[in-house]
Structure 1
Amino acid sequence: MKKSPLRSKRGIALLSLCISWFILSKNTSQSQSSVTRGSLPIRHGWKAPDFCSTLRKQPQPYDPKCRSTKSGTLCNNSLPQFFSQDGEDYYLYTRHFARMKRPGIYVDVAANDPVLISNTYFLDECLGWQGICAEANPKYFKPLQSKRSCQLIPTCISDVDGNEVQFGMRGASGGILETYKGDPGVLENATETLACTTLETVLRRLSVSHVDYLSLDVEGHELHVLMGIEWGQVTIDIISVELNSNTRKPVHTFLIERGYHMLSTGTEPVNDMETFSMNDPVYVRHGLVFGRPE
């Protein structure tokens, strides 16, 4: 039986990754058994790019009207900008992460493009953080491998290990059809059956018990990702999550019940984004004083 062009391209991309610990398969029993123990990549000889020094001294939030360059986004004043589309990295760095005395650990679900409107690129490149980048769209596998230091998890994240889903991909867009927040019809002609894993399995496999920042944007599947975390086994300090009218209440309730509170970031607009807290709310765990990470 002939394989579809999409499936063939995916196979080639996965072979190039040489990730022996994870097997993308339709066999749900393999999803958990194929996970072996390891640790996050160690950053030997890390050196921040030149633009990072200016960005840390003179932070500028992302502005889509400015031009993109190899060293970041520049405006008329030639100052580099942060990268998050809605100002998450700028907000969290200037108000909290800048005061950290050690490199942190981030988890990005789903990572998408390694640089463009990324919530974690600055943490990776400019602060030397270690990270996990979960991304199911093969379009981004090689770019993430070449431009980021994070451990790539090349599949979907859900609430049950081995959970089979129909994952749709169309260019830069992608998501699980069952919960896709947009029109799933735009993805139906490029779907593939994937066996998802859980964050609990990923974190346990990589021996991670403390996460400084979780960036969560999976086009409507956010609650399922959160349900796949063993909250008694891992501490997650700060979570930013993209929500919509269907996911806002259940996700908010879920996190409040686990001791988180939502920051009132909308009272301090980032780049005139007064709705920042509504579109991408930031949640802080109980016991952590925002702005005093140590």
Structure 2
Amino acid sequence: MTVLGLFALAGFVNWVFFRSKIANCISVAEMMTGLPQNDTRIIKYISTYHLVPPSTLAYNFRKKGNSSSSFMNSGSSDGALNYSVQKILGFKKRGFFVECSAYDGETNSKTLALEQQYEWTGLLIEPDPFVFPRLVFKHRKAWTSDACLSPDPFPQRLEFLHRIDAGSSIPGHTSLQRALSPLSNITASDVNDDSSKERWRKVQVPCFPIYSILSALKVFHVDYLSCDVQGLELQVLKTIPWNLVRIDVISVSYHLVPEGPESLKSFLESIGYWLVSDFPSAYLFANQSVFPANANKSPLRS
């Protein structure tokens, strides 16, 4: 490991130790549960204990010399989605993104191309406590958070099942991001058969409304939101006070939403969004105030 790598590791360990030491002195459940999402105590708590600033170090990707350019222009669904987002926004420079379920910040990232090619920054959210350190060590030029997004307009702790062998497939799930899944999305057959019952562990994760996290960052205009929260997408979106937050483009995963894909379409269309594209497992929506302005300039490819 390089000197810079050791420095980064030491800084991260100190951050975790300091946060844990303070957290042990505070009853998080008593302090947060039931408090409204704009409560200043919540916002201060998030800012202090659940946000890591953008890295100033060189990228630390698994593949040396990794570039997002080939991914951005590839025929993959994520590459096409990235391209479509930029088309809608007129190839905007220095925008702000929020990516939920960011994983390690490199593998199939929906925002890395925006960061590398267009100088964007933003927020990468990865609630899996076993994956989050890997995200931090990628040295992304964006804020990172180890919290999950609350499905209610107040903070809470939710229980998840962590798949220890996350690289393998889970029935009904894709292999990449299903290392951490809400208990509501895991069936008994997923965990009780002899081949998989030893592969799960329960973890509790602090969850905050997305508005609370944005308030901690003092960011109320998001150019692009990638929302993949394991079936809680509709509930999370409904917590947002849309009169206080502007989000121009939203990609939202729908394959695990219990209310069904149509519920997402109906809700987002009711608050002023157009359905622009239907990608595998995800819809792409654009705010009606943004899409017409750039659609003629850079029409989306089919």
TM-score normalized by the length of structure 1: 0.69
Distance 1:226 1:211 in 2: 14
CA contact (8 A) 2:85 2:224 kept: no
Letter in 1 for 2:205: L
Are positions 1:224 and 2:235 aligned together? yes
TM-score normalized by the length of structure 2: 0.68
Distance 1:210 1:30, change over 3 A: same
Letter in 1 for 2:82: D
Q: 5+ residue gaps in structure 2?
A: 1-11, 36-40, 167-178, 298-302
Secondary structure of 1:35 counterpart:
helix
The offset of 1:19, in angstroms, is 7.8
CA contact (8 A) 1:162 1:197 kept: yes
Distance 1:92 1:182, change over 3 A: farther
The offset of 1:150, in angstroms, is 1.8
Secondary structure of 2:289 counterpart:
coil
Distance 1:228 1:248 in 2: 18
Q: 168-177 or 254-263: which moved more?
A: 168-177
CA contact (8 A) 2:105 2:124 kept: no
Secondary structure of 1:262 counterpart:
strand
Letter in 2 for 1:255: L
The offset of 1:35, in angstroms, is 3.0
The offset of 1:23, in angstroms, is 5.2
The offset of 1:202, in angstroms, is 0.5
Are positions 1:176 and 2:182 aligned together? yes
* Structure 2 match to 1:199: 210
Matches within 5 A, 1:1-294: 16-17=15-16, 27-31=28-32, 33-36=41-44, 69-72=63-66, 80-82=70-72, 86-87=78-79, 88-93=81-86, 95-97=87-89, 99-100=91-92, 102-147=93-138, 148-160=140-152, 161-171=154-164, 172=166, 173-179=179-185, 185=191, 189-244=200-255, 246=258, 247-263=260-276, 265=277, 276=279, 279-289=281-291, 292=294
Question: How large is the Cα RMSD of the aligned pairs?
Answer: 4.0
Aligned residues: 248
Letter in 1 for 2:31: Q
Distance 2:209 2:124 in 1: 13
Distance 1:73 1:126, change over 3 A: closer
CA contact (8 A) 1:213 1:236 kept: yes
Secondary structure of 1:203 counterpart:
helix
Letter in 2 for 1:211: V
Secondary structure of 1:133 counterpart:
strand
Distance 1:23 1:284, change over 3 A: farther
The offset of 1:96, in angstroms, is 3.2
